[in-house]
Amino acid sequence: MLAGSLLFSVGLEIFLVPNRIIDGGITGISIILSHLLNVPLGVFLVVLNLPFLLIGYKQIGKTFAISTLFSVVIMSIGTSMMHKVSPITIDPLLAAVFGGIILGIGVGLVIRAGGSLDGTEIVAIVFSKKSPFSVGEIVMFFNFFILSSAGFVFGWDHAMYSLIAYYIAFKMIDITIEGLDQSKSVWIISDEHEKIGDAITYRLGRGVTYLNGEGAFTGDNKKVIFSVITRLEEAKLKSIVDELDPRAFLAIGNIHDVKGGRFKKKDIH
């Protein structure tokens, strides 16, 4: 949380703020208010997030609220300390790209540690329980108005740069949380389940589990192979299945986290 909050501060004060580029959420509102009222950014980051921390404490839990408060305070202190540091670039496109990357990594680290850096996420979680909209849709709704406001305050060019920074940060959050070596779940239904299972074990080094299945239409009993692989092993797995049973049913899905069991890769023979 400490590293993520400080990285976020670097992205704001050394890339985005000097180039009049904003982020979404409470951070974006804080940047706009800081510019209009000439008040240090860190003050708004703390003050505007406090009401949402109270909501988070009641709706999500004490640990989450304390973790978020710690992260927001560190972020506020970091922005205050770096306010007088000269920006690395005055090119708004470079600032949007690299600022978005640093912001996204910072937010991702804080989320992985169990905290948050923006109150709108807390509001979105609460609203999502009482509305048909997802957390992501509610956050995007808020940020549409916040990023649009940047057009009236800083000009529409800067609003478009802000959108670029926000999109890049959004993608980097996913990469930081999930990791570059993203895990994938694999489901295979085949009459050659033993051969495919052995091949996955000895040629990929991954463990497999056989599940009992039954065809709803035919009533035939089937063995279902379940395994977890990495994104880099997906192509090799597909070639193994095509080689041993081209007619096999294969389904692959993303997994955000894997823990326990025997996921550790075995030696390949």
Q: Which amino acid is located at 126 in the chain? A: V
Q: How far apart are CA 232 and CA 246, in angstroms?
A: 21
> How high is the pLDDT of residue 27?
86
Q: Closest Cα partner for 93 from 21, 173, 23?
A: 21
Sign of CA dihedral 40, 42, 45, 47: negative
Identify the residue whose tokens are 């009236």. Answer: 152
**Geometric angle at alpha carbon 45, from 10 and 101, rounded to 5°:** 30
Q: Would you say 24 and 147 are in contact if contact means Cβ atoms under 8 Å apart? A: yes
> How high is the pLDDT of residue 181?
58
Helix (H, G, I), strand (E, B) or coil at 173: helix
**pLDDT in tens for each of the 269 residues of the chain?**
999 999 999 998 999 988 998 888 888 888 889 888 888 888 888 888 888 888 777 767 788 888 888 998 999 899 888 888 888 888 999 999 999 999 989 988 988 888 888 877 777 766 766 777 666 667 777 888 888 888 888 888 888 999 899 889 888 887 787 665 568 899 999 989 999 999 999 888 888 999 998 887 877 888 999 999 887 788 899 999 999 999 999 999 988 667 766 555 665 55
Q: Would you say 215 and 251 are in contact if contact means Cβ atoms under 8 Å apart? A: no
Q: How far apart are CA 145 and CA 139, in angstroms?
A: 10
DSSP state letter for 183: E
Q: Would you say 235 and 208 are in contact if contact means Cβ atoms under 8 Å apart? A: no
> How high is the pLDDT of residue 263?
57
Identify the residue whose tokens are 């306010």. Answer: 83
Q: Closest Cα partner for 8 from 118, 92, 159?
A: 118
C-alpha distance across the termini of the chain, in Å: 41
| Rg, C-alpha atoms of the chain | 23
Structure tokens at 52: 């949402």
Q: Which amino acid is located at 127 in the chain? A: F
Q: Which amino acid is located at 44 in the chain? A: F
